[in-house]
Structure 1
Amino acid sequence: MSSFDLLEISKHAFMYSFFIYCASFIFFAVAVMGRNWSNRNPEQHMRKWGRIAFTTSSIGLAGHLLYFGTRWAGGTHIPVSNMYEFMSFLSMMIMIAFTVVFLIYRKTTLGLFALPIAIIVMAYAAVFPREVQPLIPSLKSIWLYIHVTLAATGESFFAVGFAAAFMYLLRTVNFKGTDKSDRRQRRWVEFTLFSIIIVIGFIVAVFAFRLGGYETVFTREHVTTSATTGVSTSKVENVAYTMPPIIAPYDSTTDHMESFIGITEPLFHAPSWIDGITAGRKLNTIVWSILAGIIIYILLRLIIRRSLGELVSPLLKGLDPDDLDEISYRAIAIGFPIFTLGALVFAMIWAQQAWGRFWGWDPKEVWALISWLYYSAYLHLRLSRGFQGRKASWLAVIGFLVIMFTLVGVNLVIAGLHSYAGTN
């Protein structure tokens, strides 16, 4: 079978596994919500549909593994070298981590929260270019593959820990309470849900304008001066926007712009400290993500006429909060040593081989270290200070938001040695 055929199989396997995961999520929702409407035995209803949902998710995972295997066989390297491949691999590992934890604890409701994380990560992956890209020299190392795969595996268990911790908060926060503590807890739960919707807004905005074929092109003359010779050179750079330019690149001119709702010129130009021809595009993407997220959130609130947390909380009645707290801790405890090896130890070995130094304060390195220190503090407080329940759950939720900023925000916002990852 040719490489082209394998890559075609890989592409279709990715798409099919995505839709199967969506179907599995629906079955998990039927299992959890349908028990409230079951006239016979609610627990029997939940077990029956829980088995159907888990079987469906396992079929989706098999398709996901097929995607990974055929893309690896059809390419020239393990498919983790750009953002599309890495986020696809991360979503696959989240499903593997969910499967492991589900088989241990048999908590059907966990699928109602873990599946959306995998689905959102897969959809986020589909935003980036899917072509198999040749490796730059620094990526041609076995240490890179070990570093990336282990880091993603650790992060996948953090994702399951986040899901269980957030379920704990939704289960225990008093959405009817009127005192200051209850109101503060509700606000932070809602902010967490809003943060997730921002990521969904990014995906929706990218695909909406991509389907519409929108494009605007900017041109800028970039002048660089050699530090050794003092000689200045200039070159003309072009950048294409696939979203309407609320913010254009700094010191650029419009080469071609498609009108959007009557707007024919950029609303703003990026400030001088946000330099670089692609920096303005990244900032523009962030603005559109926030706007799309706000619109989606407002529409949801208008439809349901209450907070999102208040809508979801009743689904978790009957669950033991202590079980959710234990699942969250165990998932993070499994993921932490794997993440330590992947994101730090083997990453530094690769950095020494690729760039001749173990540590260079690259933004991605710094945020990987911040993530590791954060989860180190979580485990320390959990084991030595007795942080359990709500305190530990909030730590787990915030920790995964840090992980997501490391994966999403750093790549979109901050330039560095990891910018090869398909975001420019």
Structure 2
Amino acid sequence: MTAVELAQLSNTLFSITVALYSLGVVAFCAQLAFGRRPARTRELVGAGAPVEPAAPATEPAAEPVRGRRWGLIAMGLTVAGLVTHVGILVTRGLAVDRLPWGNMYEFATAVVLVAVAAFTVLAVRAPALRHIGAFVMGPAVLALVLIGLKLYTDAKPLVAALRSYWLAIHVTTAILGFGIFFVSGIASVLYLLRTRYEAKVAAGAPAGGSGMQIVERLPAAAALDRVAHRTAVFGFPIWTFAVIAGAIWAESAWGRFWGWDPKETWAFIAWVVYAGYLHARTTAGWRGRPAAWVNVVGLAVMIFNLLYVNLVSTGLHSYAGVGK
């Protein structure tokens, strides 16, 4: 295939990926609607004594067969979309004979790929986490649509400043770190919603009250907190290496390790926020909801760094937001 044909194939695979992921979101929503039942409250019998006084007040109910089927369909569509998503970047890279993350369109597409891949691994290892699929894949679809509409640029050679082996090191690790943090941040948002729901139920509010039917079908707050924490633990050293590698590349390209360029500054701010989150998870008084809020702030900083800093502010990294 010629370079033009490969570039066209990449664009076609982009549309197919959005379609597959969108169908996957519908299936994940169906799993939420028809799948997992809320926990059953133990009932009192006989003279009023509980069946098992020492047992928890609630116990999980088995998921209906229909729910499991919707979950499998959703995962199948997600995996199929993941394959075509990889194809987007592979064919684009072949079309221009370089790594396919030399501009904002390619970088953002790769970030979403890592986020979807991270969620897929988690959902395969822990099937209960498929119940957060709609909340991860929904933003992923929205992100891809916006990427295609607002960030698309034709497949072209790299700008001179990016023609370095450091592209494979610095930008690749930045993509991995951002994608993993994306899943961690979503998990923390869901954790905040779930803890609020569990607190209301503990205070005597009826389970499944108004506006809470979806939240009650999410995994337990403790499970969501573990997902947020473990993914952040995994992503933090990757992001740390990305910041260090960027400083080394800056010294090679611009003659200084650090110059407080907007991109550098916000990358460092993100590092500080995530370091604060990991520290908060081990600090009395900051565990739970306060730590989760720090993680959500970290995700907001990452998105701000990707969009505003690249597209609006000016600096030595401004070339990353335009096609050349």
**TM-score bucket (shorter structure):** 0.7 to 0.9
Distance in 2, Cα, partners of 1:42 & 1:359: 53
Distance in 1, Cα, partners of 2:223 & 2:198: 21
Distance in 2, Cα, partners of 1:100 & 1:81: 27
Q: Shift in Å at residue 380 of structure 1?
A: 1.2
| Residue of 290, 315, 324 corresponding to 2:214 | 315
Q: Describe the SS at the equivalent of 1:407.
A: helix
Q: Shift in Å at residue 104 of structure 1?
A: 2.5
2:306 corresponds in structure 1 to 407
| Residue of 173, 182, 190 corresponding to 1:150 | 173
Kept after mapping to 1: 8 A contact 2:36/2:64: no
Q: Describe the SS at the equivalent of 1:361.
A: coil
Check if 1:44 corresponds to 2:65. Answer: yes
Query: Within 5 A, what are the aligned runs for 1:68-147?
Result: 68-106=89-127, 107-126=129-148, 127-147=150-170
2:237 corresponds in structure 1 to 337
Q: 1:54 to 1:353 in 2, by over 3 A?
A: same
Q: 1:386 to 1:147 in 2, by over 3 A?
A: farther
Give the alignment's TM-score, normalised by structure 2: 0.83
2:84 corresponds in structure 1 to 63
2:187 corresponds in structure 1 to 164
Deviations 1:82-128 (A, max 9, x none): 11111111111111111122223221112111102221221222112
Query: Within 5 A, what are the aligned runs for 1:352-363?
Result: 352-363=251-262
Kept after mapping to 2: 8 A contact 1:129/1:422: no
Distance in 2, Cα, partners of 1:377 & 1:330: 15
Kept after mapping to 1: 8 A contact 2:96/2:157: no
Deviations 1:254-296 (A, max 9, x none): xxxxxxxxxxxxxxxxxxxxxxxxxxxxxxxxxxxxxxxxxxx
Percent of matched pairs sharing the same residue: 36
Gaps of 5+ in 1: 178-309
Give the alignment's TM-score, normalised by structure 1: 0.64
Distance in 2, Cα, partners of 1:332 & 1:36: 27
Q: Describe the SS at the equivalent of 1:23.
A: helix
Q: 1:405 to 1:328 in 2, by over 3 A?
A: same
Q: Describe the SS at the equivalent of 2:192.
A: helix
2:245 corresponds in structure 1 to 346
Q: Shift in Å at residue 421 of structure 1?
A: 1.9
Q: Shift in Å at residue 74 of structure 1?
A: 1.0
Kept after mapping to 1: 8 A contact 2:25/2:134: yes
Q: 1:389 to 1:175 in 2, by over 3 A?
A: closer
Deviations 1:163-192 (A, max 9, x none): 111111122225997xxxxxxxxxxxxxxx
Q: Shift in Å at residue 398 of structure 1?
A: 1.4
Deviations 1:13-62 (A, max 9, x none): 1110111001000100000112379xxx7433322211110111000000
Distance in 2, Cα, partners of 1:144 & 1:36: 44
Distance in 1, Cα, partners of 2:246 & 2:284: 31
Q: Shift in Å at residue 76 of structure 1?
A: 2.7
RMSD of the TM alignment (CA)? 2.3
Kept after mapping to 1: 8 A contact 2:277/2:292: no
1:298 corresponds in structure 2 to none
Number of matched pairs: 289
